[in-house]
């Protein structure tokens, strides 16, 4: 079975430009958020995927820095990174990452092909989130999992107002409950849901603060949301 297929329809998702890549290289805040999301994805794959996933697909990979970080942990896995921005994809020179320019709502991959789909900080950018989730389900194997994250809408609003965040291109926002409902509605079973990342900029002792907040049942004040789900 071929892995790649032709796009079957076209939509206009929002793409970042090269400034995003430069920021992820030099901005402590962007590096911190990438590291936090990568650690959550890594743990989700270890906990809930098959022992040696054959194919891991990162949708909205941008410059592919997350697969770069995950490859040493899963050296026997094949990685595909999809992004709308050809400029960003070109910045990644890793030989093990297959880079594909594609729209997240029209994934040019065969049915039932991926063991893991990574979809961090992407669903808020797509014009049709439901179509995006259905595409992810189509591409996943029956035993596959999706790891999806999105910012908490209220905390993102507050962070933007006080100048901590300068995000662009967000078309939708989701609470954890809304994201859960959308994913279940489109053929997934929820395995795990949580909030993480005490702040979008990073503090000393951040993980200790997160553990304390969870112990005190104060998860609601964390900045990011994560769901791990399996295909029904």
Instruction: Transcribe 204-226 into DSSP letters.
Output: TTHHHHHHHHHHTT-GGG-SEEE
Instruction: Kindly report whether the global pTM for this prediction surpasses the value 0.85.
Output: no
Which position has the token pair 């040696």?
52
Distance from C-alpha of 213 to C-alpha of 189, rounded to nearest angstrom: 27
Distance from C-alpha of 190 to C-alpha of 203, rounded to nearest angstrom: 30
- 165 versus 104: the higher-pLDDT residue is 104
Average pLDDT over residues 121-134: 94
Q: Give the pLDDT score at 4.
A: 45
- Strand partners of residue 100: 82
Which domains can be identified in the chain, with CATH numbers?
A: 18-231 (3.40.50.150)
Lowest mean per-residue pLDDT among 32-36, 108-112, 204-208, 228-232: 204-208
Alpha helices in 78-201 (DSSP H): 86-90, 129-139, 153-161, 176-185
Distance from C-alpha of 88 to C-alpha of 101, rounded to nearest angstrom: 10
Lowest mean per-residue pLDDT among 109-113, 158-162, 202-206: 158-162
Q: Contact 75/61 with Cβ under 8 angstroms? A: no
Could you read off the pLDDT of 151-182 as tens digits, one per residue? 987 655 455 544 555 555 566 789 999 999 99
Q: How confident is the model at residue 141 (pLDDT cuts 50, 70, 90)?
A: very high
Could you read off the pLDDT of 20-64 as tens digits, one per residue? 666 667 677 778 889 989 999 999 999 999 989 999 999 999 999
Q: Which helix (H) or strand (E) holds 70?
A: helix 65-70
Q: What is the Cα gyration radius of the chain?
A: 17
Name the CA dihedral angle for 196, 201, 204, 208, rounded to a multiple of 10 degrees: -10
Average pLDDT over residues 138-145: 96
Q: How many helices (H) and strands (E) does the chain have?
A: 8, 7
Average pLDDT over residues 90-107: 95
- 90 token code pair: 């070109």
């Amino acid at each position: 079975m071929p892995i790649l297929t032709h796009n079957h329809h076209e939509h206009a998702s929002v793409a970042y430009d090269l400034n995003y890549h430069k920021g992820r290289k030099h901005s402590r805040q962007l590096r911190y958020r990438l590291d936090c999301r990568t650690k959550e994805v890594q743990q989700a794959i270890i906990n809930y995927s098959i022992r040696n996933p054959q194919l891991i697909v990162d949708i909205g990979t941008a410059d592919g820095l997350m697969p770069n970080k995950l490859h040493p942990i899963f050296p026997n896995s094949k990685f595909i990174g999809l992004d709308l921005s050809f400029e960003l994809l070109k910045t990644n020179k890793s030989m093990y990452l297959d880079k594909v320019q594609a729209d997240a709502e029209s994934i040019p991959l065969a049915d039932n092909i991926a063991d893991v789909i990574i979809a961090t900080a992407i669903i808020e950018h797509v014009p049709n989130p439901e179509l995006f989730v259905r595409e992810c389900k189509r591409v996943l194997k029956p035993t596959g999992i999706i790891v999806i994250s999105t910012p908490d809408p209220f905390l993102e609003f507050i962070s933007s107002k006080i100048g901590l965040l300068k995000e662009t291109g967000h078309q939708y926002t989701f609470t954890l409950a809304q994201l859960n409902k959308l994913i279940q509605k489109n053929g997934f079973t929820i395995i795990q849901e949580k909030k993480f990342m005490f702040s979008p900029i990073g503090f000393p002792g951040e993980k200790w603060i997160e553990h304390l907040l969870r112990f005190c049942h104060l998860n609601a004040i964390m900045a990011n949301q994560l769901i791990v789900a399996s295909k029904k």
